[in-house]
Amino acid sequence: MAAQLNHTIILCRDKQVSAAFLAEMLGRPEPGRVGPFLAVQLDNSVSLDFMDTDEAITAQHYAFLIDEADFDRVLGKIRNKNLDHWADPMCERPGEINHRAGGRGVYFPDPDGHFLEVLTRVHAD
């Protein structure tokens, strides 16, 4: 049996703000409406569908594999927006990036505290 991830739902306080933030950070097209959701489409046919909630939000981790030029653009946006960012998921190396597997990576929060990661090489650790 073949299986591919098609979409996942991300709970947020304001789907307009959260979806627009992710789309801007990753250089994606403007989010599109899909039923009650705002969807950010990725290159591998997966969408992240944002949905408003009044319930407590449990922070999730979302990692995006990007190329070196896009990493430079994302890191520039992180710095221009003065966003907190870390080289590691434990947030022990603030203001830094990592070089795992010979690539680069960085972690940063979205408006609802979800933990976003961009990386240029897949790593095992």
Check: CB of residue 116 under 8 Å from CB of residue 109: yes
CATH number at residue 58: 3.10.180.10
Residue 26 is predicted with a pLDDT of 98
Number of domains forming the structure of the chain? 1
The answer to whether residue 125 is domain-embedded is no
The answer to whether residue 43 is domain-embedded is yes
pLDDT over 70 percentage in the chain: 99
The answer to whether residue 63 is domain-embedded is yes
Residue 88 is predicted with a pLDDT of 97
Indicate the SS3 state at residue 6.
Answer: coil
Q: Which domain holds residue 20?
A: 7-119
pLDDT of 125 above 80: no
Mean pLDDT, range 100-107, rounded to an integer: 97
* Closest C-alpha to 105, from 82, 78, 80, 114: 78
The answer to whether residue 1 is domain-embedded is no
Residue 124 is predicted with a pLDDT of 72
pLDDT of 97 above 90: yes
Output phi, psi for 72, to 5 deg: -60, -40
pLDDT tens digits for range 25-62:
999 999 999 999 999 999 999 999 999 999 999 999 99
Indicate the SS3 state at residue 50.
Answer: strand
